[in-house]
Chain A
Amino acid sequence: GAVVSQHPSRVICKSGTSVKIECRSLDFQATTMFWYRQFPKKSLMLMATSNEGSKATYEQGVEKDKFLINHASLTLSTLTVTSAHPEDSSFYICSAREPHQPQHFGDGTRLSIL
């Protein structure tokens, strides 16, 4: 149980394009989803918290217009990196949780901007 699917696993695109990453909870309803960014050999840094049907809460220093988050249903959240540039290249990971349960993570998306 508690499977989180993240898609795509890898994206390579040109500078200036927008990239959408999907995060789905496959066997449970995720009232809250989270988006993290991880740099090589570093820990996970929380970018934003997303509750179904409401606006995401962004961590300090994370540009909400740059990283658009939508949590339209209890099983799907999306992160769109708008007008991506090389400095946005990173490993992005989502997680999802039911109330009073621990977070379960997707397998991550490696984003490479050329």
Chain B
Amino acid sequence: GQQLNQSPQSMFIQEGEDVSMNCTSSSIFNTWLWYKQEPGEGPVLLIALYKAGELTSNGRLTAQFGITRKDSFLNISASIPSDVGIYFCAGQLIDTDKLIFGTGTRLQVFP
């Protein structure tokens, strides 16, 4: 099935550092979503973006909907150990309910 290009694939950082990850696509999306998944659990919604250029924050997390509608990034500031997990972007195509998921970014935070 179709997937989005998400990078980096994995990150190993020290507590307190900032993190940045992004997703790109050849398709135009009308919604971008960012989820976090921990082992053995389902994804949890972090941020939803609905308009091109939109910049939205949720605590230490900030995400933006790219102007071209083909990309999005997620930043995490001042990372802490509980930020560990896999982060997925997901784009919703125009005129459909379906989400296309990114390949995921595995984040490890060391104290």
Contact = CB atoms under 8 A, between A and B. Distances in A.
Do A and B share a complex?
Answer: yes
Interface of A: 2, 4, 6, 32, 34, 42-46, 49, 59-60, 93, 95, 97, 102-108, 110
B48 interface: yes
B48 A102 contact: yes
Q: Please classify the interface of chain A as helix (H, G, I), strand (E, B), loop, or mixed, using the class held by over half of its residues.
A: strand
Interface of B: 1, 3, 31, 33, 35, 40-45, 48, 88, 90, 97-99, 101-104
Q: Report which residue of A34, A103, A107 has the largest number of chain B beta carbons within 10 angstroms of its beta carbon.
A: A103
A49 B97 contact: yes
Contacts of A4: 42
Given A43-B102, A59-B1, A93-B42, A105 B97 contact: no
B42 A108 contact: yes
B42 A105 contact: yes
Contact of A44 (B41, B48, B101): B101
Contacts of B104: 42-43
